[in-house]
C-alpha cells in the first residue's frame, strides 16, 4: 500500500517541499474545460460551463443506457456507485492530499441507512432516503475527519483502516437491527409510471427495474460530479490544493489547515454515503461481507489508475473495476481455461494492470495524458518564443 | 366433425410416438423439441450458478460446481434430458453479496439461463433471491440450509431449498442427546447468524434443561478463546457446534490449548474431516497434521460420503468423476454437487419435453417429494413447502470417514415430530441417470 499513499502524502508531512505540484495529481490540477483559451466556445463562468457539460453528459447517459443490453445496464448501475464513491475519494486524496482506506465503511453507513428507511411499511420517497444516507455518512465522516485532520500518511491510513474493519462489525454486533452477517435485504423501489412513458418515448425499450436502477445511479452520479467539479474549481478547491501542496505556505496565508481537512473529509464522506445508498438499491442487500477492506482498497486503486484528483479518472478507474473482471473471465474461457481457472485469472490480471500502470503511467490514465499534453504545449510555446526571439534579433 | 376427429387421432398418434422414442423419460409431451422458454433451445438447456471460486470461502466450496459439471458432462454423453444437452455455467462471486448480484445479473440477463441452480451461501444468495423471483427465474436447490428459501413459497415461489435445514438438524441432534446422553451438560458453540440461531432453536426443543451455556462467535474473528473458555467454565462436557469448517479447526485447537476435552458434536456443515484436517494443519503451522483431533466427534449426515466406498452411489459418482471430471480427487463437496445435479435432472425430466420456467416449478411441487436419489431422506417439496430433504443420520467421525450411530430420522421445521425413516435406501439407476415421468 505504501506505493499508493506516497504520491498523495508527498510534501504534506509538514515540510515545505520545493517541487510542490505533485506529478501524481496532475490529472486533477488542469482546468476541467478550457476557459482561458480564446478558441473555446464554452462560457467563461465555471457554473455555466459545468451546467453545459452536465446537460451533455445527461444526454450521453440516456443514449448509452438505451443502446446497451439489460445486462450492460446492470453493469452501468454498478459502475455508478463505484464512480460516485471514487469521485469523493479522489477529491479527498487528489485535491487535499489525505488518504482514506475507510471509504468502504462510509458506504456501508449509507447502504444501511437506505436499507433501514426502505424497510419501513410506507417508505419515504427515494430522494429523501438517499439524502438521509448522505446525512448519516456525512456525520460519521465529520467525526472521522476531526481525527483525520491531525494525522498524516501512514497514521491516517491506519486510522481509516480501523474504520473500514470496525464499522461493518457493528452490523454483526447489533444483530437484531442490522441483520448480522446476512445483512438486510433491500426491496428495490419500483419505477414510477412516468419512467415507463419516458423510456417508451425515448427508445421504445421496456422499462425494467434494472433499467430504472441504472437511471437512478446515473442521475446520482451526474449530480455528484456536478457538485464536486464546481467545488474543485471554486475557492474551496484552491484552498484544498494549497493545503495539499504547501502546508506552511497555506498556513502563512491564513488557512486553517485542520478545518479545511475536515471539510474535505466531510464532502468525500457525503459522496461515499450516496454511493452506499445507490449500492443498497442496486445490489438489493446491505451486508457486512459487501463492505470489506477489499472495497475500500478497490476504490483507492480505481482513482490511482484513473489519475488522482481527476473526476474523469475516477470514472475510468471505476469502469475498469466493473468491466475488467468479466472481460478477463470470458477471455480466459475462450482460451480454453476451465471456469474456475478463468475466475481466478481476473484478480491476477487486475493486479498486473495495477503494477503496469504504477510503473509506466504513475500519474494514471488521465493524469498522464494531461501531463503529455501540457508538456507538448509548453514545448511549442518555448519553440515559438525561441523562434520569435530569433526573428526579432535577425 | 371429421376434422376434429382427425385432429384428435393425429395428436394421439403424436403422443404415442413421443412416449415411444423419448428414451430418457417416458410419457413426455410428444412431438418435436421446441425452444419453449428462455435458456431452452431444441438441443440445449442452459443452467447457471454462483460460487466462491476465489477468496477465503473458496477451499471446499469451489469444488461443488465441478461436481455438477462432471455429472452433466456424463449425462450429456448419454443423451442429456430429452436429447437436450445441459449447458452448465458457473461464475465467481468470491462469497461477496455485491459480486453475487453482479454475476447473477450476468447469468440471467446476458447468458440467459433457464434456471439458477445450487447458488451457494446464505448472505450471498439473499442478495439475489428477490431479483430471481421478480424475474421469474427458477431458483433451484440453494446450497444453504437457511429456512429462507423454502418455508414461505408465497413470498419466493421460484426458490427451493435442497439440503436439510439447520432447524430440523438441530431437532434431530437434540433428540439424540436427550435419548443417549441424558446426563450430559451441554454447551452450544454457535455462529452468530441464522445458521446458529435456527440450530439452537431446534436443539432447545429437546434439551433446553440440559444446556448450560450458549456461546456465539462472529465469522471473521479468529479468536474463539473466550467462547471455548466460557464453555469450559460452565462445566459443559458435551459441546454442540453449529459452525463452518474453519471454526471446527479453531475450536479444536483452542480446546487443545485449554486442556478442555468434552464430547464434540459438529453439525454437518462444519464436519468434513478432510477439509478440517487440512485447516488444522494450516492453522497450527504443521503441529497438528490431520483430523485425528476430530476422532470420536459426532456429526450428522444426509448424503453418502466418499469414505463409504461400498455405497453404490459413491461407486457411481466415483466412476462419473473418473470419466467426466477434471483434475483432483472425488471429494465430499463434489459428491454434494453431483447429488444436486441428479435432483436437477429429475426436475428437468419431470418438467416434460418442452419445459417452461413455471412448468418446472409446478413439476417439483407436484412430484418432488416422491423422488429417490443419493440423498438419504425424501424432499418436502409441495405447494406449501419448498424445503429440501428432511432427515439425517447421526455419525461418529473415525479417521477421515465416519460410522453410523443412528439411522435416518426425519422431521420438519416448527414442532413437527421426529420419526424414524422406514424407506429403503435408493439404488442408483443405470449410469446414475434418473428416469422420471413428465407431469405436464
Residue A205 within a domain: yes
State yes or no: pLDDT of A29 exceeds 80: no
Chain A residues whose beta carbon lies within 8 Å of the beta carbon of residue B193: 175, 180-182
Rg (chain A; Cα; Å): 22
Q: What is the pLDDT along chain B (440 residues), one digit of tens a residue?
A: 344 444 444 444 344 433 333 334 434 445 788 888 899 999 999 999 999 988 777 888 889 999 999 999 999 999 889 999 999 999 998 888 888 988 998 899 888 999 999 999 888 898 899 889 988 999 999 998 888 888 889 999 999 999 999 999 999 999 999 999 999 999 999 988 888 889 999 999 999 999 999 998 887 778 899 999 999 999 999 999 999 888 999 999 999 999 999 999 999 988 888 888 888 888 888 787 777 888 889 999 999 988 888 899 999 999 999 999 888 889 999 999 999 999 999 999 999 888 999 999 999 999 999 999 999 999 999 999 999 998 899 999 887 788 889 998 988 888 888 888 888 888 888 888 898 888 86
| Segment among A43-47, A109-113, B15-19, B199-203 with least mean pLDDT | B15-19
Could you tell me if B291 and B266 are in contact, meaning their C-beta atoms sit under 8 angstroms apart?
A: no
Which is higher by pLDDT, B31 or A370?
A370
- Cα–Cα distance for residue pair A185/B125, rounded to 1 Å: 11
Band (pLDDT 50/70/90 cuts) for residue A272 is very high
State yes or no: pLDDT of A388 exceeds 80: no
In chain B, what percentage of residues exceed pLDDT 70? Answer: 93
Could you tell me if B334 and B359 are in contact, meaning their C-beta atoms sit under 8 angstroms apart?
A: no
**In this structure, what is the dihedral angle of CA atoms B411, B413, B415, B419, given to the nearest 10 degrees?**
0
Question: Tell me, what's the pLDDT at A217?
Answer: 94
Structural domains in chain B plus CATH codes: 44-164+308-389 (3.40.50.2300), 166-301 (3.40.50.2300)
Contact A343 B218 (CB under 8 A): no
Band (pLDDT 50/70/90 cuts) for residue A18 is very low
Chain B residues whose beta carbon lies within 8 Å of the beta carbon of residue A183: 97, 123, 126-127
Which is higher by pLDDT, A230 or A12?
A230
Could you tell me if A110 and A134 are in contact, meaning their C-beta atoms sit under 8 angstroms apart?
A: yes
Q: Tell me which residues of chain B, numbers 65 to 124, contact chain A at a CB-CB cutoff of 8 Å.
A: 65-66, 69, 89-92, 95-98, 101-102, 105-106, 109-110, 122-124
Contact B101 A210 (CB under 8 A): no
How far is Cα of residue B309 from the mean position of the Cα atoms in its chain?
21
B56 touches A at CB < 8 Å: no
Could you tell me if B140 and B116 are in contact, meaning their C-beta atoms sit under 8 angstroms apart?
A: yes
What cell does B34 get? 421446441
Could you tell me which residues are beta bridge partners of residue B324?
A: none
Residue A51 within a domain: yes
> Which range in A76-80, A361-365, B3-7 is most confidently predicted, on average pLDDT?
A76-80
Comparing CB atoms, the residue among B69, B123, B130 nearest residue A183 is: B123
Band (pLDDT 50/70/90 cuts) for residue A177 is confident
Comparing CB atoms, the residue among A169, A289, A344 nearest residue B54 is: A344
Question: Tell me, what's the pLDDT at B13?
Answer: 39
Band (pLDDT 50/70/90 cuts) for residue A329 is confident
Chain B residues whose beta carbon lies within 8 Å of the beta carbon of residue A279: 98
Question: Tell me, what's the pLDDT at A37?
Answer: 46
User: Which helix or strand (DSSP H or E) is residue A80 part of?
Assistant: helix A70-90
Could you tell me if A314 and A306 are in contact, meaning their C-beta atoms sit under 8 angstroms apart?
A: yes
Question: Tell me, what's the pLDDT at A16?
Answer: 40
Question: Tell me, what's the pLDDT at A175?
Answer: 78
**A125 to chain B nearest CA, in Å?**
21
Chain A residues whose beta carbon lies within 8 Å of the beta carbon of residue B324: none
Contact B97 A287 (CB under 8 A): yes
Could you tell me if B348 and B141 are in contact, meaning their C-beta atoms sit under 8 angstroms apart?
A: no
Taking Cα atoms as reference points, which of A218, A235, A312, A225 lies closest to residue A50? A225
| DSSP string covering B249-307 | HHHHHHHHHHT---EEEE-GGG--HHHHHHHHHHHTTTSS-SGGGGTT-EEEESS--TT
- For residue A197, give its domain range: 44-293
**Overall number of domains in chain A:** 1
Question: Tell me, what's the pLDDT at A23?
Answer: 60
Of all residues in chain A, the one with the smallest CA distance to B221 is A169
Band (pLDDT 50/70/90 cuts) for residue A346 is confident
CB neighbours of residue B257 within 10 Å:
11
Most B-contacting residue of A85, A118, A185, A287 (CB-CB within 10 A), to test interface: A287
What cell does A277 get? 445508498
Q: Tell me which residues of chain B, numbers 209 to 268, contact chain A at a CB-CB cutoff of 8 Å.
A: 218-220
Q: Reduce the DSSP state of residue A185 to 3 states and report it.
A: strand
Contact B130 A185 (CB under 8 A): yes
CB neighbours of residue B124 within 10 Å:
32
Contact B53 A181 (CB under 8 A): no
Question: Tell me, what's the pLDDT at A30?
Answer: 52
In chain A, what percentage of residues exceed pLDDT 70? Answer: 88
Could you tell me if A95 and A30 are in contact, meaning their C-beta atoms sit under 8 angstroms apart?
A: no
Chain A residues whose beta carbon lies within 8 Å of the beta carbon of residue B98: 279, 283, 285, 290, 295
Contact A180 B66 (CB under 8 A): no
- What are the distances in angstroms from CA A368 to CA A27, A309, A376? 7, 12, 12
Mean pLDDT over the full length of chain A: 83
Q: Reduce the DSSP state of residue B398 to 3 states and report it.
A: strand
Most B-contacting residue of A81, A212, A339, A344 (CB-CB within 10 A), to test interface: A339
Residue A208 within a domain: yes
Contact B218 A347 (CB under 8 A): no
**B136 to chain A nearest CA, in Å?**
13
Chain B residues whose beta carbon lies within 8 Å of the beta carbon of residue A289: 95-97, 123-124
- Cα–Cα distance for residue pair B135/B414, rounded to 1 Å: 30
Cα within 13 Å of Cα(B326), Cβ side: 15
Contact B102 A78 (CB under 8 A): yes
Question: Tell me, what's the pLDDT at B114?
Answer: 94
Chain A residues whose beta carbon lies within 8 Å of the beta carbon of residue B129: 185
Chain B residues whose beta carbon lies within 8 Å of the beta carbon of residue A167: none
Question: Any idea what DSSP says for residue B430?
Answer: G
Question: Tell me, what's the pLDDT at A140?
Answer: 92
Phi-psi region of A260 (alpha: psi -120 to 50; beta: other; left: phi over 0): alpha
Chain B residues whose beta carbon lies within 8 Å of the beta carbon of residue A210: 105, 109
Chain A interface residues (partner B, CB cutoff 8 A)? 69-71, 74-75, 78, 169, 172-173, 175, 180-183, 185, 187-188, 209-210, 279, 282-285, 287, 289-290, 292, 294-295, 322, 326, 329, 338-340, 343-344, 346-347
**A181 to chain B nearest CA, in Å?**
6
B193 touches A at CB < 8 Å: yes
Residue A307 within a domain: no
Most A-contacting residue of B55, B90, B106, B109 (CB-CB within 10 A), to test interface: B109
State yes or no: pLDDT of A15 exceeds 80: no
Q: What angle do CA B210, B410, B191 make, to 5 degrees?
A: 50
Averaged pLDDT for residues A267-294: 90
Comparing CB atoms, the residue among B54, B123, B192 nearest residue A289 is: B123
Chain A residues whose beta carbon lies within 8 Å of the beta carbon of residue B106: 71, 74, 326
Range A117-140 burial, b when 16+ CB lie within 10 A, else e: bbeeeeeeebeebbbbbbebbbeb
Residue A332 within a domain: no
Of all residues in chain A, the one with the smallest CA distance to B93 is A343
Of all residues in chain B, the one with the smallest CA distance to A347 is B54
Contacts A–B by Cβ distance under 8 A: 110
Residue A134 within a domain: yes
Contact A289 B122 (CB under 8 A): no
What cell does B215 get? 456461546
- Cα–Cα distance for residue pair B243/B195, rounded to 1 Å: 8
Of all residues in chain A, the one with the smallest CA distance to B66 is A340
Residue A384 within a domain: no
Contact A74 B66 (CB under 8 A): no
Amino acid at each position: 500500500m505504501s506505493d499508493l499513499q506516497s504520491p498523495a502524502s508527498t510534501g504534506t508531512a509538514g515540510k515545505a517541499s520545493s517541487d510542490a505540484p505533485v506529478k501524481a495529481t496532475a490529472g486533477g490540477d488542469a482546468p476541467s474545460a478550457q476557459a482561458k483559451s480564446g478558441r473555446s466556445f464554452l462560457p467563461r463562468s465555471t457554473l455555466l460551463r459545468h451546467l453545459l457539460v452536465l446537460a451533455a453528459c445527461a444526454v450521453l447517459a440516456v443514449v448509452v443506457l438505451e443502446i446497451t443490453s439489460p445486462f450492460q445496464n446492470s453493469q452501468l448501475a454498478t459502475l455508478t456507485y463505484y464512480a460516485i464513491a471514487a469521485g469523493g475519494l479522489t477529491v479527498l486524496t487528489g485535491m487535499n492530499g489525505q488518504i482514506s482506506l475507510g471509504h468502504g465503511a462510509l458506504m456501508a453507513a449509507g447502504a444501511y441507512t437506505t436499507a433501514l428507511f426502505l424497510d419501513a411499511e410506507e417508505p419515504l420517497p427515494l430522494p429523501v432516503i438517499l439524502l438521509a444516507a448522505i446525512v448519516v455518512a456525512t456525520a460519521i465522516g465529520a467525526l472521522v475527519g476531526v481525527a483525520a485532520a491531525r494525522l498524516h500518511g501512514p497514521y491516517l491510513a491506519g486510522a481509516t483502516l480501523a474504520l473500514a474493519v470496525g464499522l461493518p462489525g457493528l452490523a454483526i454486533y447489533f444483530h437484531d437491527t442490522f441483520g448480522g452477517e446476512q445483512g438486510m435485504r433491500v426491496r428495490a423501489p419500483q419505477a414510477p409510471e412516468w419512467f415507463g412513458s419516458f423510456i417508451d418515448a425515448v427508445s421504445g425499450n421496456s422499462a425494467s427495474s434494472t433499467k430504472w436502477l441504472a437511471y437512478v445511479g446515473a442521475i446520482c452520479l451526474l449530480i455528484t460530479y456536478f457538485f464536486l467539479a464546481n467545488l474543485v474549481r471554486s475557492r474551496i478547491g484552491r484552498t484544498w490544493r494549497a493545503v495539499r501542496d504547501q502546508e506552511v505556505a497555506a498556513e502563512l496565508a491564513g488557512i486553517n489547515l485542520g478545518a479545511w481537512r475536515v471539510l474535505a473529509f466531510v464532502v468525500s464522506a457525503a459522496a461515499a454515503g450516496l454511493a452506499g445508498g445507490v449500492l443498497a438499491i442496486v445490489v438489493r442487500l446491505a451486508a457486512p461481507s459487501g463492505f470489506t477492506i477489499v472495497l475500500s482498497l478497490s476504490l483507492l486503486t480505481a482513482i490511482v489508475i484513473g489519475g488522482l484528483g481527476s473526476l474523469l479518472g475516477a470514472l475510468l478507474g471505476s469502469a475498469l473495476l466493473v468491466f475488467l473482471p468479466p472481460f478477463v473471465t470470458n477471455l480466459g474461457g475462450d482460451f480454453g481455461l476451465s471456469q474456475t481457472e478463468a475466475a481466478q485469472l481476473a484478480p491476477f490480471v487486475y493486479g498486473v494492470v495495477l503494477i503496469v500502470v504504477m510503473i509506466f503511467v504513475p500519474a494514471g490514465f488521465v493524469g498522464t495524458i494531461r501531463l503529455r499534453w501540457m508538456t507538448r504545449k509548453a514545448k511549442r510555446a518555448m519553440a515559438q518564443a525561441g523562434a520569435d526571439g530569433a526573428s526579432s534579433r535577425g | 366433425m371429421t376434422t376434429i376427429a382427425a385432429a384428435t387421432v393425429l395428436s394421439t398418434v403424436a403422443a404415442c410416438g413421443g412416449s415411444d422414442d423419448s428414451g430418457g423419460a417416458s410419457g413426455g409431451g410428444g412431438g418435436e423439441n421446441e425452444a419453449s422458454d428462455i435458456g431452452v433451445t431444441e438441443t440445449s438447456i442452459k443452467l447457471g450458478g454462483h460460487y466462491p471460486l476465489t477468496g477465503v470461502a473458496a477451499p471446499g466450496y469451489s469444488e461443488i460446481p465441478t461436481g455438477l459439471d462432471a455429472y452433466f458432462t456424463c449425462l450429456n454423453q448419454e443423451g442429456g434430458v430429452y436429447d437436450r444437452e445441459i449447458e452448465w455455467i458457473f461464475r465467481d462471486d468470491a462469497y461477496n453479496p455485491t459480486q453475487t448480484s453482479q454475476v447473477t445479473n450476468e447469468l440471467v440477463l446476458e447468458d440467459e439461463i433457464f434456471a439458477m441452480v445450487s447458488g451457494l451461501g446464505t448472505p450471498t444468495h439473499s442478495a439475489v433471491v428477490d431479483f430471481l423471483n421478480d424475474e421469474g427465474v427458477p431458483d433451484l436447490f440453494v446450497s444453504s440450509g437457511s429456512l429462507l428459501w423454502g418455508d414461505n413459497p408465497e413470498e419466493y415461489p421460484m426458490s427451493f431449498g435442497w439440503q436439510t435445514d439447520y432447524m430440523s438438524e438441530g431437532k434431530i441432534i437434540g433428540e439424540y442427546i436427550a435419548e443417549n446422553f441424558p446426563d450430559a451438560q451441554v454447551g452450544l458453540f454457535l455462529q452468530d447468524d441464522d445458521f446458529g440461531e435456527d440450530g439452537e432453536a431446534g436443539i432447545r426443543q429437546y434439551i433446553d434443561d440440559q444446556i448450560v451455556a450458549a456461546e456465539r462467535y462472529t465469522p471473521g474473528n479468529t479468536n474463539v478463546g473466550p467462547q471455548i473458555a466460557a464453555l469450559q467454565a460452565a462445566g459443559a462436557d458435551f459441546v454442540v457446534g453449529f459452525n463452518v469448517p474453519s471454526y471446527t479447526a479453531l475450536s479444536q485447537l483452542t480446546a487443545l490449548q485449554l486442556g478442555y476435552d468434552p464430547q464434540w458434536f459438529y453439525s454437518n456443515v462444519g464436519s468434513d474431516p478432510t477439509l478440517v484436517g487440512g485447516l488444522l494443519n494450516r492453522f497450527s503451522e504443521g503441529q497438528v497434521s490431520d483430523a485425528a483431533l476430530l476422532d470420536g466427534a459426532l456429526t450428522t449426515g444426509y448424503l453418502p460420503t466418499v469414505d463409504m466406498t461400498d455405497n453404490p452411489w459413491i461407486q457411481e459418482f466415483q466412476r462419473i468423476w473418473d470419466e467426466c471430471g477434471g483434475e483432483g480427487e472425488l471429494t465430499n463437496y463434489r459428491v454434494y454437487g453431483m447429488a444436486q445435479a441428479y435432483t436437477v435432472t429429475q426436475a428437468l425430466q419431470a418438467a416434460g419435453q418442452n419445459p417452461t420456467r413455471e412448468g418446472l416449478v409446478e413439476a417439483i411441487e407436484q412430484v418432488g417429494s416422491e423422488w429417490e436419489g443419493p440423498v438419504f431422506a425424501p424432499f418436502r417439496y409441495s405447494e406449501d413447502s419448498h424445503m429440501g430433504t428432511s432427515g439425517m443420520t447421526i455419525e461418529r467421525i473415525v479417521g477421515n470417514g465416519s460410522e453410523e450411530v443412528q439411522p435416518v430420522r426425519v422431521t420438519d421445521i416448527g414442532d413437527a415430530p421426529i420419526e424414524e425413516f422406514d424407506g429403503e435406501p435408493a439404488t442408483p439407476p443405470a449410469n446414475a441417470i434418473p428416469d422420471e415421468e413428465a407431469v405436464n
